[in-house]
Amino acid sequence: MYISFPNLLAINGGTPVRETLLPYGHQWIDRSDINAVMDVLSSEWLTTGPLVNKFETCFSEFTNSKNAVAVSSGTAALHSAIFAAGIKKGDEVIVPAITFVATANCVLYLGGIPVFADIEPDTLLIDPDVIQSLITPKTKAIIAMDYAGQPCDYGALRDIAEDHDLILIADACHSLGGKHHNKMVGSLADLNVFSFHPVKAITTGEGGMITTDNDELAKKMRIFRNHGISTDHRERQIKGSWNYEMIELGFNYRITDFQCALGISQLKKLPRWIERRNFIALEYINCLKELPEIVPLITKSNNINAYHLFVIILESGKLENQRDYIFKALRAEGIGVNVHYSPVYYHPYYQISLKYSRGMCPKAENIFPRLLSLPIYPAMQERDLNDVRTALRKVTDAVL
């Protein structure tokens, strides 16, 4: 039953629903994770050791991919993937308008040109039909971003990529543990990129991974993450050699063994965490049935959503133009809502330094002012869910 909340909003001096802020995302670290890290800290190898290879093996098995390459962050993973794809100065790469800036920035790192594609309004995923109109002789790759945890339409995207001889890259930083047509995220594109930041599906503190079935691309990324040097320290020690050769201009994107130990421990728990995220999402969806002015994103029937984010759209009427006020009001109530994301080309660097202009992606621009992300992470308790539901109703009651 819908409940009215006549009491004063916290933003106006009333009593908040929560005394402490409920974050939109949060890691879950238990004793087994701590023990795994402690074991490595007492071992011979802190970095470039055996746990890196073990984490990569576990990850490739989980994602049903042939190769996994571990790096120091999700951004490092994107940069490594773009390098492996052979992007050079002047090459165009099609990217979604609604995404974190790193998805497009990685193209700039190698002198490429991000070309922004509009999105599907009900999923916020890149629209394959729009991509077709953006392809030119300079186009070399497509980066599809699995927004909020739902895989993109990789069947349609792969057809486009194959028709135009393009590399297909999945920015899967939101979707680890998800599936598309019963295929695991991580096995859907030529290169699949992941982040292990604390708010992601699993964490290594900071860290990232790229999966691929292409051995040559995997080899290029392993060299790229190690300054462009063809062997790492452990390989040289096993061979009893000091000699190494720098064959590319690479970066120090190595990940540590204690991060990888944490990743291995976390990966074991991921399936039940994805179940928990889906449970919380369903609770939200049921709650929103009583608030017709707020609409959740849809999940397509052929997808299993990893629900990194739970995104709502302020659909119509008074709420439509009140996003910023509702954001502040919910924060004042102790609910750590967030906004994911403004169109990348809205950022000052893209506007001022790169001369991108507004108006390129009208669907993304129309929906951005109406987006909010609600808290969702596996460690949320029933009382946390109740606080979000209570605050949502309290705030919308007052605005309406």
Catalytic (active-site) positions: 200
As a whole number of angstroms, the distance between CA 191 and CA 195 comes to 14
> Cα–chain-centroid distance for residue 335?
21
Residue 353 contacts by C-beta under 8 Å, 6 or more apart in sequence?
none
State the Cα torsion 276-281-286-291 to the nearest 10°: 150
Give which of 20, 49, 3, 36 is closest to 232, Cα–Cα: 49
Query: Cβ distance 376 to 25 under 8 Å?
Result: yes
Tokens of 365: 């621009």
Tokens of 17: 């629903």
Query: Cβ distance 371 to 148 under 8 Å?
Result: no
Bridge partners (DSSP) listed for residue 312: 296, 372
Query: Cβ distance 173 to 203 under 8 Å?
Result: no
Residue 59 contacts by C-beta under 8 Å, 6 or more apart in sequence?
68, 70, 186, 209, 211, 263, 267
Please state whether beta strands 183-184 and 179-180 pair in parallel, antiparallel, or not at all (unpaired): antiparallel
Q: What is the DSSP letter of 246?
A: B
Tokens of 283: 């609770």
Among all chains, which residue has been given the structure tokens 């970095």? 47
